[in-house]
Amino acid sequence: MQLGLIGLGKMGGNMATRLRRAGHEVVGFDHHPEKRDVDSLEALVGALAAPRVVWVMVPAGEPTRATIRELRDLLGEGDVVIDGGNSKYTDDQVNADLLAERGIGYLDCGVSGGVWGLENGYALMVGGSAEDVEKVRPVFDDLKPPSPHDERGEPMPGIGFVHAGPVGAGHYAKMVHNGIEYALMQAYGEGYELLAAVDLVEDVPGVIASWTQGTVIRSWLLDLLVKALQEDPRLDRIRGYAEDSGEGRWTVMEAIDNAVPMPTIAASLFARFSSRQEDSPTMKAVAALRNQFGGHAVHAIEAGGSTELEKPA
Protein backbone atom coordinates (compact mmCIF):
# COMPACT_ATOMS: atom_id res chain seq x y z
CA MET A 1 0.00 0.00 0.00
CA GLN A 2 0.97 3.68 -0.18
CA LEU A 3 2.24 5.54 2.85
CA GLY A 4 3.43 9.06 3.45
CA LEU A 5 6.17 9.16 6.08
CA ILE A 6 7.21 12.44 7.70
CA GLY A 7 10.55 12.32 9.52
CA LEU A 8 13.31 10.15 8.08
CA GLY A 9 15.77 10.07 10.98
CA LYS A 10 17.18 6.90 12.54
CA MET A 11 13.77 5.37 13.26
CA GLY A 12 11.74 6.85 10.42
CA GLY A 13 14.38 6.20 7.79
CA ASN A 14 14.73 2.55 8.81
CA MET A 15 10.96 2.10 8.89
CA ALA A 16 10.73 3.45 5.35
CA THR A 17 13.43 1.01 4.21
CA ARG A 18 11.72 -1.97 5.89
CA LEU A 19 8.39 -1.11 4.30
CA ARG A 20 9.89 -0.64 0.85
CA ARG A 21 11.60 -4.02 1.14
CA ALA A 22 8.16 -5.49 1.84
CA GLY A 23 6.75 -3.95 -1.36
CA HIS A 24 5.03 -0.84 -0.01
CA GLU A 25 5.28 2.53 -1.74
CA VAL A 26 6.66 5.07 0.74
CA VAL A 27 6.74 8.78 -0.02
CA GLY A 28 9.08 10.42 2.49
CA PHE A 29 9.51 14.00 3.66
CA ASP A 30 12.24 15.33 5.92
CA HIS A 31 13.72 18.75 6.61
CA HIS A 32 17.07 17.44 5.33
CA PRO A 33 16.92 17.63 1.51
CA GLU A 34 19.21 14.65 0.99
CA LYS A 35 16.76 12.31 2.77
CA ARG A 36 13.41 13.30 1.30
CA ASP A 37 11.44 12.28 -1.78
CA VAL A 38 9.34 15.47 -1.93
CA ASP A 39 10.02 19.07 -0.96
CA SER A 40 6.96 19.82 1.20
CA LEU A 41 4.04 18.30 3.07
CA GLU A 42 1.76 19.60 0.34
CA ALA A 43 3.78 17.67 -2.25
CA LEU A 44 3.72 14.56 -0.07
CA VAL A 45 -0.08 14.64 0.22
CA GLY A 46 -0.36 15.31 -3.52
CA ALA A 47 1.70 12.21 -4.28
CA LEU A 48 -0.71 9.91 -2.41
CA ALA A 49 -3.98 8.48 -3.68
CA ALA A 50 -7.06 8.85 -1.48
CA PRO A 51 -7.77 7.54 1.08
CA ARG A 52 -4.33 8.58 2.28
CA VAL A 53 -2.30 7.31 5.24
CA VAL A 54 0.39 9.62 6.64
CA TRP A 55 2.76 8.51 9.41
CA VAL A 56 4.43 11.23 11.51
CA MET A 57 7.84 10.41 13.03
CA VAL A 58 9.10 13.76 14.30
CA PRO A 59 10.12 14.87 17.82
CA ALA A 60 7.30 14.85 20.38
CA GLY A 61 5.68 18.04 21.55
CA GLU A 62 5.30 21.12 19.40
CA PRO A 63 7.04 19.67 16.29
CA THR A 64 4.44 16.88 16.18
CA ARG A 65 1.52 19.18 17.01
CA ALA A 66 2.55 21.67 14.32
CA THR A 67 2.88 18.90 11.72
CA ILE A 68 -0.59 17.57 12.53
CA ARG A 69 -2.09 21.06 12.31
CA GLU A 70 -0.58 21.45 8.85
CA LEU A 71 -1.80 18.01 7.75
CA ARG A 72 -5.32 18.89 8.91
CA ASP A 73 -5.47 21.56 6.20
CA LEU A 74 -4.04 19.27 3.50
CA LEU A 75 -5.83 15.95 4.04
CA GLY A 76 -9.50 15.08 3.65
CA GLU A 77 -12.29 12.84 4.85
CA GLY A 78 -11.34 9.18 5.14
CA ASP A 79 -7.60 9.84 5.41
CA VAL A 80 -5.65 8.68 8.48
CA VAL A 81 -2.77 10.28 10.38
CA ILE A 82 -0.54 8.16 12.64
CA ASP A 83 1.64 9.72 15.33
CA GLY A 84 4.46 7.22 15.80
CA GLY A 85 6.66 9.43 17.98
CA ASN A 86 7.00 9.44 21.76
CA SER A 87 4.19 11.93 22.32
CA LYS A 88 2.55 12.20 25.73
CA TYR A 89 -0.76 10.35 25.63
CA THR A 90 -2.67 13.46 26.72
CA ASP A 91 -1.80 15.08 23.37
CA ASP A 92 -3.54 12.33 21.43
CA GLN A 93 -7.18 13.21 22.04
CA VAL A 94 -6.44 16.85 21.23
CA ASN A 95 -4.88 15.80 17.91
CA ALA A 96 -7.70 13.36 17.18
CA ASP A 97 -10.37 15.99 17.81
CA LEU A 98 -8.58 18.49 15.59
CA LEU A 99 -8.41 16.04 12.68
CA ALA A 100 -11.94 14.76 13.23
CA GLU A 101 -13.26 18.21 12.32
CA ARG A 102 -12.24 17.37 8.76
CA GLY A 103 -13.24 13.70 8.88
CA ILE A 104 -9.60 12.58 9.21
CA GLY A 105 -8.84 9.55 11.36
CA TYR A 106 -6.08 9.47 13.97
CA LEU A 107 -4.00 6.66 15.44
CA ASP A 108 -1.33 6.94 18.12
CA CYS A 109 1.36 4.30 17.78
CA GLY A 110 4.05 3.61 20.34
CA VAL A 111 7.02 2.17 18.47
CA SER A 112 9.84 0.17 20.06
CA GLY A 113 12.81 -1.36 18.30
CA GLY A 114 15.36 1.41 17.96
CA VAL A 115 18.04 1.15 15.30
CA TRP A 116 17.66 -2.66 15.29
CA GLY A 117 14.07 -2.53 14.06
CA LEU A 118 15.09 -2.44 10.40
CA GLU A 119 16.19 -6.08 10.54
CA ASN A 120 14.30 -7.38 13.58
CA GLY A 121 10.99 -5.54 13.23
CA TYR A 122 9.24 -3.12 15.56
CA ALA A 123 6.90 -3.65 18.49
CA LEU A 124 3.79 -1.57 17.80
CA MET A 125 1.26 -0.40 20.41
CA VAL A 126 -1.68 1.32 18.72
CA GLY A 127 -4.54 3.46 19.99
CA GLY A 128 -7.57 4.51 17.93
CA SER A 129 -10.64 3.09 16.25
CA ALA A 130 -10.74 -0.46 14.90
CA GLU A 131 -11.78 0.94 11.50
CA ASP A 132 -8.69 3.12 11.22
CA VAL A 133 -6.44 0.32 12.47
CA GLU A 134 -7.66 -1.94 9.68
CA LYS A 135 -6.91 0.73 7.07
CA VAL A 136 -3.25 0.61 8.12
CA ARG A 137 -3.07 -3.12 8.88
CA PRO A 138 -0.77 -4.03 5.92
CA VAL A 139 1.81 -1.51 7.14
CA PHE A 140 1.60 -2.73 10.74
CA ASP A 141 1.96 -6.33 9.58
CA ASP A 142 5.21 -5.62 7.74
CA LEU A 143 6.74 -3.34 10.37
CA LYS A 144 6.30 -5.80 13.23
CA PRO A 145 8.57 -8.84 13.70
CA PRO A 146 7.59 -12.04 11.91
CA SER A 147 5.12 -14.08 13.96
CA PRO A 148 6.53 -17.26 15.49
CA HIS A 149 4.62 -20.46 14.80
CA ASP A 150 2.97 -22.81 17.26
CA GLU A 151 3.50 -26.57 17.46
CA ARG A 152 1.05 -27.05 14.56
CA GLY A 153 2.95 -24.67 12.34
CA GLU A 154 0.30 -21.95 12.60
CA PRO A 155 1.34 -18.27 13.05
CA MET A 156 0.84 -17.06 16.62
CA PRO A 157 -1.27 -13.88 16.61
CA GLY A 158 -0.53 -10.73 18.55
CA ILE A 159 3.28 -10.93 18.55
CA GLY A 160 4.84 -7.50 18.11
CA PHE A 161 1.52 -5.69 17.57
CA VAL A 162 -1.42 -4.75 19.76
CA HIS A 163 -4.48 -2.59 19.27
CA ALA A 164 -4.24 -1.37 22.85
CA GLY A 165 -7.50 0.57 22.97
CA PRO A 166 -8.98 3.93 21.97
CA VAL A 167 -7.05 7.09 21.13
CA GLY A 168 -4.21 7.57 23.62
CA ALA A 169 -3.88 3.90 24.60
CA GLY A 170 -0.94 3.25 22.27
CA HIS A 171 1.22 6.05 23.66
CA TYR A 172 0.16 5.19 27.21
CA ALA A 173 1.32 1.61 26.69
CA LYS A 174 4.63 2.83 25.22
CA MET A 175 5.08 5.19 28.18
CA VAL A 176 4.79 2.29 30.65
CA HIS A 177 7.05 0.16 28.42
CA ASN A 178 9.76 2.81 28.64
CA GLY A 179 9.34 3.16 32.39
CA ILE A 180 9.98 -0.58 32.73
CA GLU A 181 12.97 -0.19 30.42
CA TYR A 182 14.44 2.43 32.79
CA ALA A 183 14.24 -0.02 35.70
CA LEU A 184 15.72 -2.94 33.76
CA MET A 185 18.68 -0.88 32.59
CA GLN A 186 19.28 0.41 36.12
CA ALA A 187 19.30 -3.14 37.53
CA TYR A 188 21.78 -4.35 34.91
CA GLY A 189 23.95 -1.30 35.53
CA GLU A 190 24.00 -1.83 39.29
CA GLY A 191 24.88 -5.51 38.86
CA TYR A 192 27.72 -4.59 36.51
CA GLU A 193 29.09 -2.04 38.99
CA LEU A 194 29.15 -4.55 41.87
CA LEU A 195 30.92 -7.17 39.76
CA ALA A 196 33.49 -4.60 38.65
CA ALA A 197 34.04 -3.36 42.21
CA VAL A 198 35.37 -6.64 43.63
CA ASP A 199 38.69 -8.37 42.95
CA LEU A 200 37.14 -11.83 43.24
CA VAL A 201 35.48 -11.75 39.82
CA GLU A 202 38.21 -11.64 37.17
CA ASP A 203 36.10 -11.71 33.98
CA VAL A 204 33.17 -9.32 34.38
CA PRO A 205 32.21 -9.22 30.67
CA GLY A 206 32.34 -13.01 30.60
CA VAL A 207 30.02 -13.31 33.59
CA ILE A 208 27.46 -11.01 32.03
CA ALA A 209 27.71 -12.84 28.69
CA SER A 210 27.11 -16.13 30.53
CA TRP A 211 23.75 -14.81 31.68
CA THR A 212 22.39 -14.45 28.14
CA GLN A 213 21.48 -18.13 27.79
CA GLY A 214 19.44 -20.28 30.13
CA THR A 215 18.91 -17.73 32.91
CA VAL A 216 15.75 -15.96 34.04
CA ILE A 217 17.35 -12.52 33.55
CA ARG A 218 18.27 -13.00 29.90
CA SER A 219 16.91 -10.31 27.58
CA TRP A 220 17.71 -8.25 24.52
CA LEU A 221 18.89 -5.43 26.81
CA LEU A 222 21.35 -7.85 28.40
CA ASP A 223 22.56 -8.84 24.92
CA LEU A 224 23.19 -5.15 24.19
CA LEU A 225 25.18 -4.76 27.43
CA VAL A 226 27.33 -7.71 26.35
CA LYS A 227 27.90 -5.98 23.00
CA ALA A 228 28.86 -2.72 24.72
CA LEU A 229 31.37 -4.54 26.97
CA GLN A 230 32.88 -6.33 23.97
CA GLU A 231 33.55 -2.93 22.42
CA ASP A 232 34.74 -1.30 25.66
CA PRO A 233 35.35 -3.91 28.44
CA ARG A 234 35.65 -1.36 31.26
CA LEU A 235 33.36 1.26 29.68
CA ASP A 236 36.26 3.69 29.91
CA ARG A 237 35.12 5.62 26.84
CA ILE A 238 31.69 6.43 28.26
CA ARG A 239 30.79 9.06 30.84
CA GLY A 240 28.20 7.97 33.40
CA TYR A 241 25.64 10.56 32.29
CA ALA A 242 22.13 9.48 31.28
CA GLU A 243 19.39 11.68 29.89
CA ASP A 244 15.69 10.90 30.12
CA SER A 245 13.36 11.52 27.21
CA GLY A 246 10.18 12.08 29.22
CA GLU A 247 8.42 8.73 29.34
CA GLY A 248 9.98 7.72 32.66
CA ARG A 249 8.81 10.95 34.27
CA TRP A 250 5.31 10.55 32.84
CA THR A 251 5.12 6.97 34.08
CA VAL A 252 6.00 7.99 37.64
CA MET A 253 3.55 10.90 37.51
CA GLU A 254 0.79 8.53 36.36
CA ALA A 255 1.68 6.16 39.20
CA ILE A 256 1.23 9.01 41.68
CA ASP A 257 -2.08 10.09 40.12
CA ASN A 258 -3.41 6.52 40.25
CA ALA A 259 -1.92 5.58 43.65
CA VAL A 260 0.12 2.76 42.10
CA PRO A 261 3.31 1.92 44.06
CA MET A 262 6.24 2.20 41.65
CA PRO A 263 9.44 2.42 43.75
CA THR A 264 11.72 0.62 41.29
CA ILE A 265 10.89 2.70 38.24
CA ALA A 266 10.92 5.91 40.33
CA ALA A 267 14.36 5.06 41.72
CA SER A 268 15.73 4.40 38.22
CA LEU A 269 14.47 7.80 37.07
CA PHE A 270 16.04 9.57 40.04
CA ALA A 271 19.31 7.72 39.38
CA ARG A 272 19.42 9.38 35.97
CA PHE A 273 19.05 12.77 37.60
CA SER A 274 21.95 11.91 39.93
CA SER A 275 24.12 10.95 36.96
CA ARG A 276 24.10 14.56 35.75
CA GLN A 277 25.55 16.03 38.91
CA GLU A 278 29.28 16.62 39.02
CA ASP A 279 29.09 17.05 42.80
CA SER A 280 25.77 16.15 44.40
CA PRO A 281 24.28 18.90 46.59
CA THR A 282 22.39 16.18 48.48
CA MET A 283 25.58 14.34 49.37
CA LYS A 284 27.27 17.62 50.30
CA ALA A 285 24.50 18.14 52.85
CA VAL A 286 24.85 14.54 54.09
CA ALA A 287 28.62 14.95 54.51
CA ALA A 288 28.14 18.24 56.37
CA LEU A 289 25.59 16.67 58.72
CA ARG A 290 27.84 13.69 59.48
CA ASN A 291 30.63 16.13 60.22
CA GLN A 292 28.42 18.21 62.52
CA PHE A 293 26.85 15.47 64.62
CA GLY A 294 29.64 12.94 64.70
CA GLY A 295 32.85 14.71 63.84
CA HIS A 296 33.25 12.52 60.75
CA ALA A 297 35.84 13.63 58.22
CA VAL A 298 34.78 15.69 55.23
CA HIS A 299 36.66 16.45 52.02
CA ALA A 300 37.07 20.18 51.50
CA ILE A 301 37.46 21.46 47.95
CA GLU A 302 40.55 23.62 47.60
CA ALA A 303 42.24 25.21 44.63
CA GLY A 304 44.66 22.33 44.30
CA GLY A 305 42.10 19.55 44.83
CA SER A 306 40.30 18.02 47.79
CA THR A 307 41.68 17.68 51.29
CA GLU A 308 40.33 15.53 54.10
CA LEU A 309 39.42 17.63 57.12
CA GLU A 310 38.32 16.65 60.60
CA LYS A 311 35.73 18.57 62.60
CA PRO A 312 37.56 20.87 65.06
CA ALA A 313 37.46 19.73 68.67
**In this structure, what CATH number is given to the domain that contains residue 181?**
1.10.1040.10
Q: Residues 41-46: what's their mean pLDDT?
A: 97
174 noted as active-site residue: yes
Domain hosting residue 267, numbered range: 175-275
Residues 18 and 153 in one domain: yes
pLDDT for position 290? 78
Q: Pick from 166, 201, 226: which residue ends a domain? A: 166
Output the pLDDT for position 12: 96
Q: How confident is the model at residue 303 (pLDDT cuts 50, 70, 90)?
A: low
- pLDDT, position 161: 95
- Residue 311 is predicted with a pLDDT of 47
Say yes or no: 187 and 157 in one domain.
no
Please report the pLDDT score of residue 180 as a whole number.
96
Average pLDDT on 254-276 reads: 94
Residue 157 reports pLDDT greater than 80: no
Which residue out of 181, 227, 302, 311 is catalytically annotated?
181
Tell me the per-residue pLDDT of 91-147, one tens digit each, with 9 for 90 and over: 999 999 999 999 999 999 999 998 889 999 999 999 999 999 999 999 999 999 987
- Do 9 and 146 have their domain in common? yes
* Banded model confidence at residue 302, pLDDT cuts 50, 70, 90: low
- 57 shares its domain with 114: yes
Q: What is the CATH number of the domain that holds 27?
A: 3.40.50.720
pLDDT at 33: 94
Of the two residues 70 and 310, the one the predictor is more confident about is 70
The pLDDT of residue 257 is above 90: yes
Question: 306 pLDDT exceeds 80?
Answer: no
Q: The pTM is what? A: 0.89
One domain, residues 16 and 87: yes
**pLDDT band for position 258 (cuts 50, 70, 90):** very high
Residue 195, beta-bridge partner list = none
- The DSSP symbol for 149 reads B
Q: Which residue has the higher pLDDT, 265 or 312?
A: 265
What is the reported pLDDT for 140? 97
Is 90 exceeded by the pLDDT of residue 175? yes
Helix (DSSP H) and strand (DSSP E) numbers for the chain: 12, 9
Considering the domain architecture, whether residues 266 and 286 belong to the same structural domain is answered as no
pLDDT of residue 240: 87
137 vs 239: which has the higher pLDDT: 137
Give the residue from 166, 190, 211 where a domain finishes.
166
> What value does the mean pLDDT take over residues 47-51?
97
* 88 counts as catalytic: no
Say yes or no to pLDDT of 17 above 50.
yes
Query: What's the pLDDT band for 293 if we cut at 50, 70, 90?
Result: confident
User: Which segment of 17-21, 35-39, 158-162 scores lowest on mean pLDDT?
Assistant: 158-162
State the catalytic residue, choosing from 62, 174, 284, 302.
174
Q: How many domains does the chain have?
A: 3
Do 13 and 162 fall within a single domain? Answer: yes
Least confident interval from 16-20, 145-149, 189-193, 249-253: 145-149
Same domain as 17, residue 141: yes
Percentage of the chain lying above the pLDDT 70 cut: 95
**Mean pLDDT throughout 38-59?**
97
| 192 in the same domain as 124 | no
